[in-house]
Amino acid sequence: MRIVLPLLLAICAASAIAVPANARDQQTVINVMLSELGSARPSGCPGRWCACYLDTVLARAGLLPTGSNKARDFASYGEQADPGEIGAIMVMANHVGVVVGDCGNGQVQIVSGNYSNTVALGCYSPGRAIAWRAPVTH
Residues 6+ apart with CB under 8 A from 128: 90, 92, 93
Q: What domains does the chain contain, in order, with CATH numbers?
A: 21-134 (3.90.1720.10)
Q: How many CB atoms lie within 10 A of CB 23?
A: 14
Q: Beta strands 96-102 and 118-124: pairing type?
A: unpaired
Average the pLDDT over 116-135 and give the result.
96
Q: Looking at residue 26, what is its pLDDT?
A: 85
Residue 19 has pLDDT above 50, yes or no: no
CA dist 14 and 10 (Å) reads: 6
Q: Looking at residue 40, what is its pLDDT?
A: 94
CA dist 64 and 62 (Å) reads: 7
Prediction pTM value? 0.81
Q: pLDDT tens digits, residue range 44-98?
A: 899 999 999 999 999 989 898 999 999 999 999 999 999 999 999 999 999 999 9
Q: Looking at residue 71, what is its pLDDT?
A: 96
Average the pLDDT over 104-125 and give the result.
95
Average the pLDDT over 25-45 and give the result.
91
Which run of H or E residues covers position 121? strand 118-124
CA dist 135 and 138 (Å) reads: 10
